[in-house]
Amino acid sequence: MFERVTSRFPRTSAPRTRAAVLAAGLGTSVVLGAGVAVAVDNTAASGAAGAVQAQAAAQAKVAEAQAKAVEAQAAKAKKAAEAKKAAAAKAAQAKKAAKAAAKKKAASWIDPVESYKLSASFAQNGGMWAHKHSGQDYAVPTGTPVVAAHGGTVVKAGGNGAGDGPAYGNAVVIKHGNKTYSQYAHLSSVNVKVGQVVKTGQKIALSGNTGNSSGPHLHFEIRSTPDYGSAVDPVKFLRGKGVTV
C-alpha cells in the first residue's frame, strides 16, 4: 500500500487571494488619492499666493503711479506759483520803472510858477497885442517866484523885453537843448544874468506887471529860436513833456 502524501503548504483559497489583491489595490488607491489631494491643495495654495502677490504688485504699481501723479501735480503747482510770483515781481518792477520814468520826465520840465490860473492862451486874438498872442499867461500876484521850466543857459535877461521890445517889460530867455528856448516876461525883477547856467526849478525872477500888461501875471513862451516870432504852443509842449498844466 502506498502512503498518502500531504502537502506542507496550506492551500489558499481563490476567494481569499482575490480579497487580498483587492485590498492591496484599494490601499494603493487610497495612498494615490491622498497624494493627488495633497498635490491639488499645494497647487491651489501656490496659485492663491501668486494671485495675492500679483494683486499686491498691481496695487503697489497703482500707488506708485498715484504718488508720481501727486508729485508731478505738486511740481506743476510750485512752478505755476513761482511763475506767478516772478510775473508779479516783473509787473511791480515795470510799474516802479514806469513811475520813475514818469517822475523823471515830469521833473525834466515843470510849470514856471505855482498856484496859478491860466488866462490868455496861445494864438488868442486880443487888443493887448499887435498879432495873435505868442504865449501862455499865468495869472499870479506880483512877486510870485518864477522858476526855470527846464535847465539851460540864460541868453537874454533885462528890461525892454530883454531885447524883444518894451511890450514884454522885464524878461528872461533861457536856451535849452534841441533848439528849444523858454521866455518869461512882465517880470517885476530879474535874478539871473546872460551866460548863467540854471537848473530845472531854479528861481530866475519874480512875476510882475511891467510892459504891455493889464494886470500881474507871467507871460510864458516856448520858442525855436531866442527871438520873438518863433513861438509854439507852450501848454501843448509842456503836456507833451508830462507836465500837468
pLDDT at 18 over 80: no
Predicted local distance difference test score (pLDDT) of residue 51: 83
- Determine the Cα–Cα distance for residues 145 and 155; give it in Å rounded to an integer: 20
207 and 217 in contact (C-beta within 8 Å)? yes
113 and 147 in contact (C-beta within 8 Å)? yes
Mean pLDDT of 105-133: 82
Mean pLDDT of 186-209: 98
122 and 231 in contact (C-beta within 8 Å)? yes
121 and 139 in contact (C-beta within 8 Å)? no
- Among 221, 226, 224, CA closest to 238: 221
C-alpha cell at 111: 510849470
3-state DSSP of the chain: CCCCCCCCCCCCCHHHHHHHHHHHHHHHHHHHHHHHHHHHHHHHHHHHHHHHHHHHHHHHHHHHHHHHHHHHHHHHHHHHHHHHHHHHHHHHHHHHHHHHHHHHHHHHCCCCCCCCEECCCCCCCCCCCCCCCCCEEEECCCCCEEECCCCEEEEEEECHHHHCCHHHCEEEEEECCCCCEEEEEEEEEECCCCCCEECCCCEEEEEECCCCCCCCEEEEEEECCCCCCCEECHHHHHHHCCCCC
Weakest-pLDDT range from 16-20, 204-208, 239-243: 16-20
- Determine the Cα–Cα distance for residues 151 and 194; give it in Å rounded to an integer: 14
Among 22-26, 67-71, 146-150, top mean pLDDT goes to 146-150
pTM score, whole prediction:
0.59
Mean pLDDT of 123-139: 80
C-alpha cell at 61: 504699481
- CA terminus-to-terminus distance, the chain: 173
Q: What is the pLDDT of residues 51-109, one digit of tens each?
A: 888 888 888 888 888 888 898 888 888 988 888 998 888 988 888 877 766 666 556 89
Categorize the per-residue pLDDT at 38 as very low, low, confident or very high, splitting at 50, 70 and 90.
Answer: very low
Ramachandran quadrant class, 223 (left: phi over 0; alpha: psi -120 to 50; beta: rest): beta
